[in-house]
Structure 1
Amino acid sequence: MPYDERLFERMLDALERKEGWSEKNMYGGRVCVVNGHAFVGAVDGGLIALCPEEALKKHLELKHCTPFAQNGKEQPGWVKVSMDALKTAKQLSRWVDASFVHASALPPAKAKPKARKK
């Protein structure tokens, strides 16, 4: 399923005053990255958000959150938030802001070596 372009535009609006992040295609959608860590994205008709370990269990107890899985494999630290929980700018900003703060506090990610062509 393609990503929701309107949701991604709303995410960009929520990030307008933040610095040091970029955009990239990932997980079949569009994500935002800081310090080499993807932290929030518009993927598969919803929002994915990177969460601190201590908050993950609490988030997964919410009715609008599920574990985020890619190709059938759960992605550690990620939740998928349904559009029902993102109707207002304030609701969306809570997720975007919390994920940005969390990813910004992580040590910079090391670049993965590119696969060699045969």
Structure 2
Amino acid sequence: MNPLQTVLDQWKAGIADHDPKRVASYFTDDAIFQGLHPYGVGPDAVAEYYDSQPVGLTASYRILEQRQLTDDLILGYLAVDFSFPDRPALPVCLSVILRKTGADWLISHYQVSKL
């Protein structure tokens, strides 16, 4: 399985389980995170963001583009649908940069946009 899909599957499972700390564990210590609220830096900002999301939130994604920038950097561009238990799904575009840190690939940049 490719690293981008592996990390995104873990991210998606952590969201579905409403486990913000687990979701945050897939981000680097200096990750720039831009959800639909003001941006934050690092896993604590990621955990705080996902802790504020409703229980029952799920994410489904489709990788639109993927580029291996260097041996330890991958760029991904995705279509993501965030589904809520009490309102219509929210379709967004997501750009991520994964960085290899040791044996692990982690998200170092996360940028959501609504089109």
- Give the TM-score of the pair, scaled to structure 2: 0.31
Structure number having the greater helix percentage? 1
